[in-house]
């Protein structure tokens, strides 16, 4: 097993992780190692397209990281803790043991999926998932696409797919028009967000945008053929080739849970300096709460400075963070899920895709643990990452029992 030694180990090469790395590099001579499971830096928000990063902001940050000789380990998934000061990761070349003095968790978030009849049909994708596939080379030219769910990601995905030649039939947003209007009126406090919203709207001005609307069923035999959408109690059937559906984001907290960090309301609990309840372990970005790229960048800077004991300098960023946090709070309130979505699955609707566990098999259980023991819900290869967030919404179950390996790993890397 290969071994690596560093002063500051950063898990996650997205906006938060890169920001933390630069904060350390620009203010100290300590060794920094970024570990990320993607082939290139950028994370989900700045995912490369056919090997190239399009965002000017991301390019600039990556160039700075390369100039500062920050060590990078790509295509690596952290799956276990070796001891208090070392983690294990799987790479294409085998397992790696990484020793560190201080740790910064910046492992982002994933899409939330909610089960409804037909959601497992081929050509039903997560909104961000479809965007990632197109960036990797999947063609959507002249494909009829419905974008549905909730959150600002829907607009970004729709605009991107449209730019690649897709026919966006409509965008179906589950939240209400009044909530969106209230949120929009508050964007003046953050001019950058305001102008981003205006730019997106201008690119999608001829696209049908429905509020108070969500998919209740997907139809098809071998592939998706149509979706049924409800808006204000009225149903409509829309024939389409693809459905891009996602219900906002879920923080990736599995690694923090495995390490023993305290979790509050589904997020990693941190103090003002981004330190968790474990000494010398910091957390930044979406695992501390869904807040967007600007908040992630700011938290990364704070954590980097705090990790090298420059807390007075970190304090200078507190006001900026508080402003961005208010925006994040408004964002999450605006796109909170409506209760009607809990009634979408029927008895035959699959909830756990890995183990083909249906809603009918688990609806009478009292906890995620009970559903796991009795029906194998959450026992598959994703280890509850998809059905866990779904059942939390459907039944208010908590799945905070995490055991290594937190990702599927080759046996040879477990016994090395």
pLDDT score recorded for residue 414: 81
| Cα–Cα separations (whole angstroms), residue 43 to 196, 380, 413 | 20, 25, 25
Residue 51 has a pLDDT of 58
- For the full predicted model, state whether its pTM sits above 0.75: yes
Is the four-CA dihedral 79, 82, 85, 88 of positive or negative sign? negative
Place of tokens 């449209």: 162
Please give the CATH number for the structural domain made up of 113-247.
Answer: 3.50.50.60
Q: What is the mean pLDDT of each run of 10 residues along the chain (416 residues)?
A: 94 95 94 93 72 73 84 95 95 95 96 96 96 93 98 93 96 96 83 78 89 97 97 95 96 96 95 98 97 94 98 97 94 95 97 97 96 94 92 90 87 79
Domains of the chain, by residue range, sit at 2-110+250-331, 113-247, 345-395
Q: What string of H, E and C letters represents the secondary structure of the chain?
A: CEEEECCEEEECCCHHHHHHHHHHHCCCCCCEEEECCCCCCCCCCCCCECCECCCHHHHHHHHHHHHCCCEEECCCEEEEEEECCEEEEEECCEEEEEECCEEEECCCEEECCCCCCCCCCCCEECHHHHHHHHHCCCCCCCCEEEEEEECCHHHHHHHHHHHCCCEEEEEEECCCHHHHHHHHHHHHHCHHHHHHHHHHHHHCCCCCEECCEEEEEEEECCCEEEEEEEECCEEEEEECCEEEEEECEEECCHHHHHHCCCEECCEECCCCCCECCCCCEEECCHHHCCCCHHHHHHHHHHHHHHHCCCHHHHHCCHHHHHHHHHHHHHHHHHCCCCHHHHHCCCCCCEEECCCCEEHHHHCCCCCHHHHHHHHCCCCCCCCCCCHHHHHHHHHCCCCCCCCCCCCCCCHHHHHC
pLDDT of residue 403: 84
Equal CATH topology for 2-110+250-331 and 113-247? yes
Please, which residues bridge with residue 242 across strands?
145
CATH of 2-110+250-331, one of 3.40.50.150, 3.50.50.60, 3.80.10.10, 3.30.1360.120: 3.50.50.60
Tell me what pLDDT residue 195 has: 77
């Amino acid at each position: 097993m290969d071994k690596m030694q560093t002063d500051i180990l950063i898990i996650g090469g997205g906006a938060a992780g890169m920001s933390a790395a630069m904060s350390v590099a620009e203010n100290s001579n300590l060794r920094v190692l970024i570990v990320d499971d993607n082939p290139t830096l950028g994370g989900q928000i700045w995912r490369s397209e056919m090997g190239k990063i399009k965002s000017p902001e991301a390019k600039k940050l990556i160039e700075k990281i390369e100039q500062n000789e920050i060590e990078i380990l790509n295509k690596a998934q952290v799956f276990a803790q070796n001891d208090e000061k070392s983690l294990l990761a799987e790479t294409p070349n085998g397992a790696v043991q990484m020793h560190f003095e201080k740790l910064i968790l910046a492992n982002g978030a994933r899409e939330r999926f909610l089960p409804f009849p037909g959601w497992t049909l081929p050509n039903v994708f997560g909104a961000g998932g479809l965007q990632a596939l197109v960036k990797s080379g999947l063609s959507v030219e002249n494909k009829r696409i419905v974008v549905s769910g909730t959150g600002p990601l829907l607009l970004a995905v729709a605009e991107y797919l449209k730019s690649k030649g897709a026919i966006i039939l409509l965008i179906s947003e589950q939240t209400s028009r009044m909530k969106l209007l209230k949120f929009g009126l508050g964007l003046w406090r953050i001019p950058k967000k305001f102008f981003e919203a205006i730019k997106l709207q201008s690119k999608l001005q001829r696209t049908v945008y429905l509020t108070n609307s969500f998919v209740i069923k997907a139809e098809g035999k071998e592939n998706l053929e149509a979706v049924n959408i409800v808006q204000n109690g009225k149903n409509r059937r829309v024939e389409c080739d693809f459905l891009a559906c996602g219900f906002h984001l879920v923080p990736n907290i599995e690694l923090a849970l495995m390490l023993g960090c305290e979790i509050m309301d589904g997020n990693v609990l941190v103090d003002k300096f981004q330190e968790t309840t474990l000494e010398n372990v910091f957390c930044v970005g979406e695992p501390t709460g869904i807040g967007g790229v600007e908040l992630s960048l700011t938290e990364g800077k704070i954590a980097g400075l705090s990790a090298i004991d420059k807390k007075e300098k970190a304090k200078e960023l507190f006001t900026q963070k508080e402003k961005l946090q208010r925006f994040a709070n408004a964002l999450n309130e605006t796109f909170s899920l409506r209760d009607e979505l809990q009634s979408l699955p029927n008895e035959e609707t699959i909830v756990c895709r890995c183990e083909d566990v249906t809603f009918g098999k688990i609806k009478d259980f009292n906890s995620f643990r009970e559903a796991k023991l009795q029906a194998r819900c959450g026992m598959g290869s994703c280890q509850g990452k998809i059905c866990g967030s779904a059942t939390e919404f459907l039944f208010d179950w908590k799945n905070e029992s995490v055991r290594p390996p937190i990702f599927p790993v080759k046996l040879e890397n477990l016994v090395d």
